[in-house]
Amino acid sequence: MMSTTLYQGKRVLVTGAGGFIASHLVETLVAQGASVRAFIRYNSRNDMGLLTLLPPQVRDAVEVIAGDLRDLPAVQAAAQEMDIIFLLGALIAIPYSYLHPYEVVATNVMGTLNVLLAARLSGVSRLVHTSTSEVYGTARHVPINEDHPLQGQSPYSASKIGADKLAESFYCSYNLPVVTIRPFNTYGPRQSARAIIPTIITQVLAGSKLHLGNLDAIRDFTFVSDTIDGFIKGGQISGIEGQVFNLGTGSEVSVRQLVDEIGRISGRTLEIEVDPDRLRPKKSEVMRLLSDNSLARQILDWQPAISLPVGLERTYHWIEQHLELYQPGIYQR
């Protein structure tokens, strides 16, 4: 296990800090002694997103800055005097990217460029860039290693491919110390119903028939604490600049099997109705994702610790206790 004090005294910027994975990362960094600056997207409600769910003593330890990744001066100001930057800010919803591809590309590509420029200007010791397994598209071979072809099957995945290649280019062109972390379908407490596991759980808890999309899609689900462990190691291990690391369990499950497992946890027999509005366009649907995590195991000394049954139980009970945060049955794009 990596020391829990490696971030002691480090000045760390986390972009997209109000999001699901990033809020867990902020919490972990504070626990490890980092001085954390959280960059969140401005809104008139002064809403800090999921940072509001952190314990008060953690929130009080975080410097929160509101802005927009597309605003270069704002990003440069946030990056000043930072030692490490974790770039998690992005528009991530695939259905939303069908509706608003321009906004998604502007945020994910130009936002990434702005963070790369700011990181180079401020002279950080490490920039951890967040990719996604969606850049691989439907698996051409399994398990998927980091050399698998990249396929832009949605505007979102195309925007992330562009962002990944920009990060690569800044390492090659300017020797910027970039490390790319590529999570496979992270899930856990605080995740929104935009994702499939909270979608199923919230509908189960509401006692309604399940309205879902493609039941045969296969994914590699990784519990959020395991994903965070990969980020933490990616930010500190020396000599890994320029590399890309898959973070997945190396096991796969279909949406239909997820429903069965969540039904077991709930003690209910679940009825499913396929909702055409939730289906992706045929050529855009990613049918199978299964990670090869051997590089992360070897180089980062990383391995998943939470099995799917255990992670689903933890997620189910957290959502059960926080159901007021959700709108069961409403399709969230």
Tell me which residue has tokens 């480090």: 10
The pLDDT, as a whole number, for residue 3 is 52
Indicate whether 216 belongs to any domain: no
pLDDT per residue as tens digits for the range 125-176: 999 999 999 999 999 999 999 999 999 999 999 999 999 999 999 999 999 9
The 10 Å Cβ neighbour count of residue 150 is 15
pLDDT per residue as tens digits for the range 29-73: 999 999 999 999 988 787 899 999 999 999 999 999 999 999 999
pLDDT per residue as tens digits for the range 249-291: 999 999 999 999 999 999 988 999 999 999 999 999 999 999 9
Q: What percent of the chain has pLDDT over 90?
A: 92
What secondary structure letter does DSSP report for 26? H
The pLDDT, as a whole number, for residue 86 is 98
Calpha distance 61→58 (Å, rounded) = 5
Calpha distance 245→242 (Å, rounded) = 10
Instruction: Please tell me the total count of domains within the chain.
Output: 1
The pLDDT, as a whole number, for residue 1 is 45
Calpha distance 248→304 (Å, rounded) = 7
Residues recognised as catalytic: 156
pLDDT of residue 333 exceeding 70? no
Spacing of C-alpha 117 from chain mean position: 22
Indicate whether 50 belongs to any domain: yes
- Kindly tell me the burial class for residue 65, based on how many C-beta atoms sit within 10 Å of its own C-beta (0-12, 13-18, 19 or more): middle
Indicate whether 61 belongs to any domain: yes
Rounded mean pLDDT, 217-233 = 98
Indicate whether 261 belongs to any domain: no
Rounded mean pLDDT, 217-238 = 98
Indicate whether 29 belongs to any domain: yes
Indicate whether 96 belongs to any domain: yes
Indicate whether 30 belongs to any domain: yes
pLDDT per residue as tens digits for the range 164-199: 999 999 999 999 999 999 999 999 999 999 899 999
pLDDT of residue 2 exceeding 80? no
- At 302, is the pLDDT very low, low, confident or very high (cuts 50, 70, 90)? very high
pLDDT per residue as tens digits for the range 67-124: 999 999 999 999 999 999 999 999 999 999 999 999 999 999 999 999 999 999 999 9
Indicate whether 240 belongs to any domain: yes
- At 237, is the pLDDT very low, low, confident or very high (cuts 50, 70, 90)? very high
Dihedral of CA 292/297/300/305: which sign?
A: positive
Calpha distance 89→105 (Å, rounded) = 13
Spacing of C-alpha 119 from chain mean position: 21
For β-strands 63-67 and 35-41, DSSP reports them as parallel
The 10 Å Cβ neighbour count of residue 123 is 12
CATH of the domain at 51: 3.40.50.720
pTM of the model: 0.96
The whole domain housing 167 covers: 11-187+222-250+290-305
